[in-house]
Chains A and B, each alone.
Chain A
Amino acid sequence: MLTINDLARPGLEPVNLEISAGEIVAIMGPSGAGKSLLLRAISDLDPNTGMVMLGGRAREAMPAPTWRKEVGYLPAEPGWWAETVGEHFQNWPSQQDSLATLGMPGDCGDWPISRLSTGERQRLGLVRLLEGVPQVLLLDEPTSGLDADTVESTERLIRDYIGTQRCCLWVTHDDAQAGRMATRCLRIEAGRLAEPTS
């Protein structure tokens, strides 16, 4: 479904990767190894070389905004541009189900962004990303700020969303989470992506 050929940028050696529909691929590795650089390069947020295709269509064949809508990237610390939570969504009322699943109160639309905790920002950033219905998810430690219960419901929400038609690249530090979620596990060390030896 997502095909990556010789994708490279400063700090990242050429990456070749094929992800099928229904797959969740975990990316692990020490801090600074290039995990976030890889996700940013796939999302085309930084200059990079190589080829990335979604369902046989090359990234360069479509406008960058269209590509990023299809290949949704969630940074470890999602950004916010307006005062309150609700302003960041196309259609805030229709988010109630996802919010309830993730343990966010339904009236948090009026909350100021400055009041949110790290974990709340991560969950709201995820809901905001899913609103655009991307076919591929690029998630950068989406549950690092969450307690155990919320981690579980977040994992369930993402697994249900991926289903059999979509796919996901999931950066995580947590071996147990990779074991629960991933159909495949890859490691990045010093900018080089490889299958783990162990």
Chain B
Amino acid sequence: MSYITLDYADLAIAASLVLISGGASLVLRLDIERRLLIATLRMVVQLVLVGLVLKALFANVSPLWTGLAVVVMLAVAGREILARQSRPLAGFWAYGLGVSTMAVASTLVTVFALTTQVAPDPWYHPQYALPLFGMVLGNTMTGISLGLDTLVTSLTRERAAVEAKLTLGATIHEAMRPNARQALRTGLMPTVNAMAATGVVALPGMMTGQILSGVEPVEAVKYQILVMFLIAGGTGLGAILAVLAATWRLSDPRHRLRLDRLAASRD
């Protein structure tokens, strides 16, 4: 097995494909050439920067710098969770609840993998820690944002039903259970679908990358299966923590539904 290095001329040739799409947009007046250009530039600049950052991190393996990269990734993913809520919690909780549950779930799962299954030396080596953490984090972020958004949307829409159960003497947990269950199902659905379809509909990107870099297919598959388990674990743990924390925040010890703890509606 061999690894084929690309030089910048190769990339320039491939970039002509984007130019063809841009040309088609101009000729057919699709009005998308500007956005295509900006997106292409962003993609190139962002990836080059990430490459440089990773190179620097790999050059001096330090728990401090690796940890800093993890914190930055968490902070950005936390903002993304917030942006995906049609109606977030009010105040600190809007950002804090999503980012803290995501941090606990994705860090636990990644450290577990790094200290037992992958076990590089040292365990926090950024070459292993950051790619694994990134994959777990991205999926956990999706699971948490879907779970939280579904929970809040359904509680807001079905407020009368939840309160009807309360007025008949149900506990707030009984009253919210169908909503919490629905939120967890929705949060876990992308992971379940991805596991069910993987290898049949599409080859996973990480496995494809390892095969391109010369790894034996069976070895690449083993890594992909490990990553799928980690993603399932991170998404499940993250969604459960986030939905439970949100049901706790949206209720109180007198078994009330506290939708007043949501931020004011955006529409």
Chain A residues proximal to chain B, CB less than 8 Å: 43-47, 63-66, 68-69, 72-75, 77-81, 125, 128-129, 132
- Would you call A77 and B160 a contact (CB within 8 A)? yes
Residues of A within 8 A of B253 (CB): 64
- CB <8 Å contact, A129 and B161: no
Residues of B within 8 A of A66 (CB): 169
**Would you call B256 and A64 a contact (CB within 8 A)?**
yes
Collect the chain A residues with CB atoms within 8 Å of residue B252's CB.
47
Chain A residue nearest to B168 (CB atoms) is A132
B168 touches A44 (CB 8 A): no
Contact B256 A78 (CB under 8 A): no
Contact A43 B167 (CB under 8 A): yes
15 extra A-B contacts, CB within 8 A, seeds A64-B256, A75-B167, A81-B165? A45-B167, A46-B260, A47-B252, A63-B255, A64-B166, A65-B166, A65-B171, A68-B166, A68-B255, A74-B167, A75-B160, A77-B160, A80-B161, A81-B178, A129-B168
Q: How far is the CB of B78 from chain A (nearest CB, A)?
A: 29
- Contact residues in B for A44 (Cβ distance below 8 Å): 254, 256
Q: Is B170 engaged at the interface, CB distance under 8 Å to the other chain? A: yes
Tell whether A81 pairs with B158 under 8 Å between CB atoms, given A45-B256, A47-B256: yes
**B195 CB-CB contact with A under 8 Å:** no
Q: In the complex the two chains form, is B167's CB within 8 Å of A73's CB?
A: yes
Q: B160 contacts which chain A residues (CB < 8 A)?
A: 75, 77-80
Answer yes or no: B80 CB below 8 A from chain A CBs: no
Complex contacts, A46 vs chain B, CB 8 Å: 256, 260
Determine how close the nearest CB of chain B comes to the CB of A80; give it in whole angstroms. Answer: 6
Q: Are A129 and B256 in contact (CB under 8 A)?
A: no
In the assembled complex, which residues on chain B have CB atoms less than 8 Å from the CB atom of A63?
255
Report Cα–Cα, A65/B168, bound state, in Å.
8
Most buried by A among B168, B256, B258, B260: B168
Bound: A80/B168 CA distance, A: 12
B 2-44 to A, binary, CB cutoff 8 A, 1 in contact else 0: 0000000000000000000000000000000000000000000
Query: What are 7 A-B contacts with C-beta separation under 8 Å?
Result: A43-B167, A64-B255, A65-B255, A78-B164, A79-B162, A81-B158, A81-B162
Q: Are B164 and A45 in contact (CB under 8 A)?
A: no
Q: How far is the CB of A75 from chain B (nearest CB, A)?
A: 7
**B178 surroundings in chain A (CB, below 8 A):** 81
Whether the Cβ atoms of A45 and B166 lie closer than 8 Å is: yes
- B163-A69 in contact (CB<8A): no
Residue on A with the closest CB to B258? A47
Q: Which residue of A lies closest to B179 (CB)?
A: A81
- The CA-CA distance from A75 to B163 in the complex, in Å, is 10
Q: Which 3 A-B pairs rank lowest in CB-CB distance, beginning with the nearest?
A: A79-B160, A79-B164, A69-B169
On whether the beta carbons of B169 and A68 are closer than 8 Å, the reply is yes
B170 touches A65 (CB 8 A): yes
Interface centre among A72, A74, A78 (most CB of B within 10 A): A78
CA distance A45 to B255 in the complex (A): 8
Q: Which residues of A contact B256 (CB under 8 A)?
A: 44-47, 64
In contact, B169 and A79 (Cβ under 8 angstroms)? no
Q: Which residues 148-164 of B have a CB within 8 angstroms of A?
A: 158-164
Smallest CB separation, A35 vs chain B (Å): 16
Among A65, A69, A75, A78, chain B packs the most CB atoms within 10 A around the CB of A65
| Cβ of B55 to closest chain A Cβ, rounded Å | 55
B:243-267 near A, CB below 8 Å: 252-258, 260
CB distance from A8 to the nearest CB of B (A): 16
A102 to chain B, nearest CB (A): 18
Closest chain A residue to B253 by CB distance? Answer: A64
CB-defined interface of B74-112 with A at 8 Å, one 1/0 digit per residue? 000000000000000000000000000000000000000
Residue in contact with B169 in the complex, picked from A65, A80, A81, CB distance below 8 Å: A65
B62 → chain A, closest Cβ, in Å?
49
Taken together as a complex, chains A and B put the C-alpha atoms of A64 and B170 apart, in Å, by 9
Query: How far is A80 from B256 in the complex, measured between Cα atoms in Å?
Result: 17
